[in-house]
Amino acid sequence: MTKRLGEPPAEGDLDRAERFNKIQMQGIQLWQLIHTVQNAYENVPFYRKKFDEAGVSPKDCRALEHITRFPFTTKDDLRDNYPLGMFAVPRAELRRIHASSGTTGQPTLSGYTKKDLDTWALLMARSIRAAGGRPGMTVHVAYGYGLFTGGLGAHYGAERLGCTVIPASGGMTGRQVRLIRDLRPEVIMVTPSYMLALLDECDRQGFDARQGSLRVGMFGAEPWTEEMRAEIEERTGLHAVDIYGLSEVMGPGVAQECVETKDGLTIWEDYFYPEIIDPVSGEVLPDGERGELVLTALGREAMPLIRYRTRDLTRLLPPTARPACRRMDRITGRSDDMIVLRGVNVFPTQIEELLLRVPGLAAHFQLVLGKRGRQDELTVHVEARPDADQARRAAAASELAAAVLSTIGVRVAVRVSGPGAVERSAGKMRRVIDERGAP
């Protein structure tokens, strides 16, 4: 499909950092890094101990490449220091706390000072503008509001840009579609999987989204593929762009795909310093190589995070739309989402990519891990498109199984069900269901 690219923002509307050259960017990054490392060492006992144990101190950070002298921070560190141990400011200076629940139930918290919230709104406004949003437009926010950073992050960014916000949050799908029909937003911000649920609801209401008002969709918070982009753009006529972030380092708005290039996520490097490491050895890899993304939040007051291991797998790419901001490729998955099936690594995104190429299959799917005898077995549970008859469904099941075998190299079972059979989620979709029980 040929890509219909959108208009970039006018040069004069960009933030200064979006126009920086590499030297200017590196200057800002170093200045911010030095202050962040100092803030962490002086105000967070966890970091003081960790740096002391590693034999490093803020004096060792005089150039950007010195960052590799400092130890990584992990999700376990955040859990171990729950609730307030990672914060560098007295509690009274915190203006907000978000939480991410994770899979283990032990939450990790993320705290913000007034300045941190201001930076976040600035970066979200920048992201919405990079996606094609403009002051005066209406933005429908269907990311969840609450402890999750998606809703409030999007909300304050859209207000900062000068947009009208519809704080729909997740759920009540029928009402959301009515609001979209009545209020005619140009921009929608939502997880890609919930966008599909909204589109199915549009079909149920007999509303053709292509004839509607939406021009831009900002999709993130979970992995998705180029095939999903094509599917959503085809059904809506909007520009579907990727947005990335995580609550630990801020929330949405760490990186944003620019609508004029649609070639991966531009990292807002004036506030985040990215590295890619080998997830096993921890060795830093050169730009272009795939590995785990590590982020340092630059200039964050309440919760300085040094070299945070995101567990997200991607690679760094040279700048395109903004001269001094490198890009990151789509996230292929998280290291903890990876299924190892009879020795072969399988990511849900690989399955999504393949199934969307099979005629008759819809984008709603889950991967169910079970056991047959002593062997693990993976079943792809996927819905048929409403117009696919029994014969097409059966053919689609074999086509998908064959495609998985030839591209990923592993045998899977495929169950094709009727429309509506796969669980819907109003936020992040749970792609993998493990039914193997305790070993």
Residue 80: CB minimum distance to ligand DLL, A:
18
| C-beta of 6 vs 220, nearer to ligand DLL | 220
| C-beta of 30 vs 295, nearer to ligand DLL | 295
| C-beta of 28 vs 198, nearer to ligand DLL | 198
| C-beta of 109 vs 396, nearer to ligand DLL | 109
Q: Which stretches of the chain bind ligand DLL, using CB under 6 A?
A: 100, 143, 148-150, 220-223, 242-247, 251-252, 310, 312, 331, 334
Residue 47: CB minimum distance to ligand DLL, A:
21
Residue 245: CB minimum distance to ligand DLL, A:
4
Q: Write the secondary structure of the chain as one string of H (helix), E (strand) and C (coil).
A: CCCCCCCCCCHHHCCHHHHCCHHHHHHHHHHHHHHHHHHHHHHCHHHHHHHHHHCCCHHHCCCHHHHHHCCCECHHHHHHCCCCCCCCCCHHHCCEEEEECCCCCCCEEEEECHHHHHHHHHHHHHHHHHHCCCCCCEEEECCCCCCCHHHHHHHHHHHHHCCEEECCCCCCHHHHHHHHHHHCCCEEEECHHHHHHHHHHHHHCCCCHHHCCCCEEEEECCCCCHHHHHHHHHHHCCEEEEEEEECCCCEEEEEEECCCCCCCEEECCCCEEEEEECCCCCCEECCCCCEEEEEEECCCCCCCCCCEEEEEEECEECCCCCCCCCEECCCCEEHHHCEEECCEEECHHHHHHHHCCCCCEEEEEEEEEEEECCEEEEEEEEEECCCCCHHHHHHHHHHHHHHHHHHCCCCCEEEEECCCCCCCCCCCCCCEEECCCCC
| C-beta of 39 vs 110, nearer to ligand DLL | 110
CB atoms within 10 A of CB 333: 23
Residue 24: CB minimum distance to ligand DLL, A:
27
| C-beta of 251 vs 304, nearer to ligand DLL | 251
| C-beta of 231 vs 399, nearer to ligand DLL | 231
Residue 9: CB minimum distance to ligand DLL, A:
20
Q: Which of 138, 228, 166 is nearest to 431 (CA)?
A: 228
Q: Identify the sign of the CA torsion 261, 23, 296, 347.
A: positive
Residue 62: CB minimum distance to ligand DLL, A:
31
| C-beta of 243 vs 305, nearer to ligand DLL | 243
| C-beta of 144 vs 212, nearer to ligand DLL | 144
Is 157 in contact with 185 (CB distance < 8 Å)? no
Calpha distance 362→393 (Å, rounded): 11
CB atoms within 10 A of CB 224: 26
Residue 111: CB minimum distance to ligand DLL, A:
14
Residue 362: CB minimum distance to ligand DLL, A:
21
Residue 402: CB minimum distance to ligand DLL, A:
28
Is 362 in contact with 397 (CB distance < 8 Å)? no
| C-beta of 98 vs 393, nearer to ligand DLL | 98
| C-beta of 51 vs 143, nearer to ligand DLL | 143
Residue 150: CB minimum distance to ligand DLL, A:
3
Residue 137: CB minimum distance to ligand DLL, A:
18
- What is the arrangement of strands in the sheet containing 432-434, beginning at the earlier edge strand? 413-417, 375-384, 361-372, 432-434
The residue number whose beta carbon is nearest to ligand DLL equals 220
